[in-house]
Structure formats: structure tokens, C-alpha cells
Amino acid sequence: MNTFFPQSAPSEWMAQFTGPGAWQAWLNQPQPDIKPMLSTMSELGASIEPDVMSKLQNDYMQQLSALWQDVLASKPPAIADRRFAAPEWQSNALYAFNAAVYLLNARFLMAMADAVKATPKAKQKIRFAVQQIVDAMSPANFLVTNPEAQQKIIETKGESLTKGIAHMLADMQKGQISQTDETAFEVGKNVATTEGAVVFENALFQLLQYKPLTKTVYERPLLMVPPCINKYYILDLQPENSLVRHAVEQGHTVFLVSWRNPDASMGKTTWDEYIQDGVMKSIEVTQAISGSDQINALGFCVGGTLLSTALALLYAHGEKPVASLTLLTTLLDFSDPGVIEVFIDEAQVAMREQTIGQGGLMPGRDFTSAFSSLRPNDLVWNYVKANYLKGEEPPPFDLLYWNADSTNLPGPMFCFYLRNMYLENKLKDPGKVKVAGEKVDLSKIDTPTFIYGSREDHIVPWTAGYASVGLLNPKKRTRNRFVLGASGHIAGVINPPAKKKRSYWTNDQVPATADEWMKGAQEHPGSWWPEWVAFLSEHAGKKVNAPRKLGNAEYKPIEPAPGRYVKAKAEQGK
């Protein structure tokens, strides 16, 4: 990849992989073309030992020969891949063989990537690039090699093809693949519906306060700081899977930061401003409205990074604004940033600094494209096959609607975050990062902390999230609690108890390493939310009568939740 978070419109995907050359390559081979991979390896200073390469090629030819023998003997090849699970793939020997050869080629290319001699970072980039090619070249992705799509055309007398073309043209106009029926949802109508009001706003954010659902509430409120890379309503999708509503139902007065979707007027906004005018201001207003000097605070993903940075500065000043801190899938130590690392190196960061570092926007569509590329079969090619080749309508799904509702970031803010955290990993070292002219020292934060990680998280590896245990309360490690949930970055977090899905792990000890923690961890069925609620309640103070009005004399309600900011669509930056 030659840009950080590259843009990939559907037209580009289709043109790259549906041209005559692509079809002919598939019909004429089986042996895969390894020249592009060898070229990439050369650029990265990587190589494969000749004897290892020779063995890989010999193994490949033996398996290909065995596959041919099965075909000649009319023995259908075994295809253990869900992309080819439909009966149409098995009922025709040509399609079954094509799928089997593709899987053989894929294994060969990935084995080459694994055999590369290179630095860990270079090897990760090579493996990622090869995986992108392998996934893109699946015969399931092309009409001429997909028997399911061809059968659908026959059954519908061409209607599926007409619809597929219409879907593709509509997505080309929109600039991204449709993953859900976006007309089925509306922010404030059937997502982000928990009742409340905007009680403060500035150029960066609106602060929401939610209406109590219990007669009494805990005296200390809860402030939620979501990621600014996405919109806040991942925490308030629908009543049955809303973490916001769940906390309100447990008797907590919830305040939440709704970040503004940056437009050109915010093109020069800095990381410092997000800390001072964003997080710090939200803490100040929450304290003022609740009348409580101490609040409970929660940060999710980069929201947790922002929140922790702000708290480090406040504690360094002698202030103790929080009674507890919760971090959900948050990186403070960026030693292992997950697969996203393939997009990050000095050249790419410098390129972003040159183009938008002094002003401009990081377009939200680039984020969507990059995150989709981390799981292309699930988030790209699955929809190419269904929407375009088979002409199917994407079903309504609230989480995917949220995923497509992208947000921009101001260039200076984004570049600071990219260099100081992801590239140079300075935040974990006391005094290495300066915010508003002051050195940041995370060890200054002195409060009980609940840290959550998701076991299959590809954006914030849970072991990297666990590293926060050693950065916060370093002299009082027992004040930290780590809980591990099943599933990934989003689905692991949004796991309400009523669904009775998945599982989570706990360990009352907080050893130095994630591996040690896991060895002593115990698995429990269901949601981790009750564990968090119990922790939160311990630090929420006594119960008092629920407030009859939202806001106060100084901070009066401005408009009903969810507010204007969350409804703004991303403008494209330059």
C-alpha cells in the first residue's frame, strides 16, 4: 500500500478484477503468478531461501497432480470453504475443480508469505498484501466463474443481473459498497433512541445527558467518551443492545460526548484541542450539572486514549476528577497495534503530514475502506457476490448501518495521533508526549480502573489492551481489573446480557503479562456487562433521588438527544 488508509471505490475493485485479462488468467493457469509478490519482497528487502522455495513448489506440483488425478477419476475435489458451500459448486466438475485450484494456489501463496525472511513489520506487510490478492481473486467474486450467480440469472430470467448492475452503479455513485439497507434506519428514530437532551455544545462536541429510568440514581454520574473516528451511537444502537440504556437502567446518570463530524471549518483542529476543549470540558460540565466533584468515566477505543491523556494532565495538576475509569478496547501502549500496522511507516505518516498535517481533513471514507480491507471476505467480497453478482438486497443491520456512517478527522489532530502514538509509541513513556505544552505521564492517574479487551479484536489486540494494566496505577496494580470478552472489536463490546451470547474471562489477579493473566483466567458464559456494572456501582456513591430536569441553571437543555452533530454526514476532505 502506498498511502495510509487507501481509498477503494467499487468501480476500482470491479475494474481490477473483472477485466478480460483477469478471466483469461484464471482459465489458462493453474500455477499462480508469483512475480508481483517477488517484486514486493524485493522492495521491502525480503527474500526466501532457495531450498524452501523449491520445496514449496514441489509440494504444490504434487498436490496439483493429485487434484488432476481425482478429476480424471471423476472424483469430486474436497472443498472445505464456506465461499464454495452451495451445491452449484459441487454439481459441476469444472467449477469444483476451479475452486479447488484456487484454494491450492491460495495456500501456496500464503505459505510463501510465511516463509519470507524479513523484519516482522515487513513480513506482516507482505502477508497482508498477499492475503488481499488471494481473497480478491476467489472465483466466487466473478460472474463468469460463479455458478451460484449464473444459476440465479437463469432462475430469475435475468432480473438478478439487472438488479446487480443497478446496485453496483448506485454504490459507485455513493463511493462504497452497501453492507445493509441504509433506508431502514434513521438516527434518532430507530437507532440512538435513548431519551435525553443536549446540555452543552461547542465547536468540537455536544454533551448529552440521558433521562433517568429509575426513581433513585447513584450520586456520581457516568461520562462516556466514545471514539471520534466513529459516531457515538455504537453505544446506543437500539434499546435491546444499548450500553447507554443499560447503564441508565442500573441507576446511573449518564452523560455522553457526541463528537462533531468535522468539516472544512475544523481543518486546523489539533489533538490539544480535542483534549482541552473536548474531554476536559466534558468532565467539567458533567461535574457542574451533577454537583459531584468526582465522576465515573468510560473511554472506548481512541476515546479511551483521549480520556486517559486528559486525566493524566488533570491528575498531574493535583485534581482527582474521577472515582473510577473504564477503558474498552483501548490502546495506551502501541507496541502491538494489530493489523493496522501494515498501513503505518515513516513514509506514509510523512505523506499524511505533508498533505493534511497543517490543515485539511482525513476523509471518513478512507477509514471505512481501510477497516474493511482488514476483513475483506466478510466486509467486501461477501457483498460483491451478494449485491452485484446475485442482485440481492442487503438486509437491515443496525451495526453495519453505523459502520457505514463515516466520520472525518481534522488533519493536524490525526497526524499527531498517528505519529506520536502509532508510529513512535510515545504515550506509554512518561514525559515523551506533550499536550498543551505539558508532559503527559499516565502513571499519574490514580483511580480504580476497569480494562476490557476482546479476544478476537484485530484493531486493538487484547494483549495490547492488557498492557494498560502496567501503565495505570503502577504502584497499586490491584486497583486495576481486566476482563476479556469473546468476539471482536465491536461485537465483543456490544454484547447485552439478555442475548445470552458468547462468553468472557476473569482473573482476580493482575500479573505482569497477558499470558500469565490468561493462564489463571476463568471463563464464564454470557455477557461481561454485569461484571462492569458491579465495578461501576462500587464507585458510584450513594443513591439519591433522580433529577427531575436535565441540565441545570447554567447548562440548560439545547435540543433533544441525539442532537444535531451525530446526524451530520461526512464531507470529503482534500
Q: What is the mean pLDDT of residues 317-340?
A: 96
Q: Are strands 522-525 and 438-439 parallel, antiparallel or unpaired?
A: unpaired
pLDDT at residue number 44: 62
The neighbouring-strand residues paired with 254 are 222
pLDDT at 541 over 80: yes
Q: Where are the alpha helices (DSSP H) in 44-158?
A: 50-72, 87-90, 93-115, 120-136, 147-155
What is the average pLDDT value for the chain, to the nearest integer? Answer: 90
Q: Which residue has the cell 452485484?
A: 388
Q: Which three cell numbers stand for residue 412?
A: 493536524
pLDDT at 116 over 70: yes
Q: What is the mean pLDDT of residues 513-524?
A: 97
pLDDT at 444 over 50: yes
343 closest CA partner among 290, 414, 273, 284: 414
Three-state SS annotation for 428-487: CCCCCCEECCEECCHHHCCCCEEEEEECCCCCCCHHHHHCHHHHCCCCCHHHEEEEEECC
pLDDT at 11 over 60: no
Q: Which three cell numbers stand for residue 302?
A: 481512541
- Active-site residue identified among 301, 310, 521, 533: 301
How much of the chain, in percent, has pLDDT values that exceed 90? Answer: 76
pLDDT at residue number 464: 97
> How far is 42 from 118, CA to CA, in rounded Å?
10
The DSSP 8-state label assigned to residue 161 in this structure reads H
How much of the chain, in percent, has pLDDT values that exceed 70? Answer: 91
The neighbouring-strand residues paired with 196 are 210
Contact between 245 and 501 (Cβ < 8 Å): no
Q: Which three cell numbers stand for residue 171?
A: 454504490
The neighbouring-strand residues paired with 299 are 225, 327
The neighbouring-strand residues paired with 243 are none
pLDDT at residue number 299: 98
pLDDT at residue number 106: 94
DSSP string, 51-83: HHHHHHHHHHHHHHHHHHHHHHTT-PPP---GG
pLDDT at 465 over 90: yes
Contact between 41 and 47 (Cβ < 8 Å): yes
pLDDT at residue number 230: 92
> How far is 549 from 530, CA to CA, in rounded Å?
28
Q: 49: pLDDT confidence band, cut at 50, 70 and 90?
A: confident
The residue among 384 and 573 whose pLDDT is bigger is: 384
pLDDT at residue number 125: 86
Tell me the pLDDT tens digit for each residue of 378-390.
Answer: 889 999 999 999 9
Q: 46: pLDDT confidence band, cut at 50, 70 and 90?
A: confident
Q: Which three cell numbers stand for residue 262?
A: 468535522
Contact between 295 and 219 (Cβ < 8 Å): no
pLDDT at residue number 339: 86
Residues 6+ apart with CB under 8 A from 170: 178
Q: What is the mean pLDDT of residues 215-244?
A: 97
pLDDT at residue number 45: 67
Q: 43: pLDDT confidence band, cut at 50, 70 and 90?
A: low
pLDDT at residue number 291: 96
Tell me the pLDDT tens digit for each residue of 359-371.
Answer: 999 998 888 888 8
pLDDT at 282 over 60: yes
pLDDT at 460 over 50: yes
453 closest CA partner among 537, 346, 347, 336: 336
> How far is 298 from 322, CA to CA, in rounded Å?
10
pLDDT at residue number 273: 98
Q: What is the mean pLDDT of residues 288-307?
A: 97
pLDDT at residue number 571: 67
> Is 415 assigned a catalytic role?
no
Q: What is the mean pLDDT of residues 89-108?
A: 91
Least confident of 164-168, 172-176, 485-489, 547-551: 172-176
Residues 6+ apart with CB under 8 A from 110: 127, 130, 131, 134
Instruction: Return the axis-axis angle of helices 93-115 and 50-72, rounded to nearest 10°.
Output: 170
End-to-end CA distance of the chain: 20
164 closest CA partner among 401, 383, 404, 379: 383
pLDDT at residue number 30: 47
pLDDT at residue number 219: 97
pLDDT at residue number 71: 80
342 closest CA partner among 35, 15, 44, 9: 44
296 closest CA partner among 471, 531, 469, 536: 536
pLDDT at 458 over 80: yes
Q: What is the mean pLDDT of residues 135-142?
A: 94
Least confident of 68-82, 246-260, 310-324, 456-470: 68-82
Q: 3: pLDDT confidence band, cut at 50, 70 and 90?
A: very low
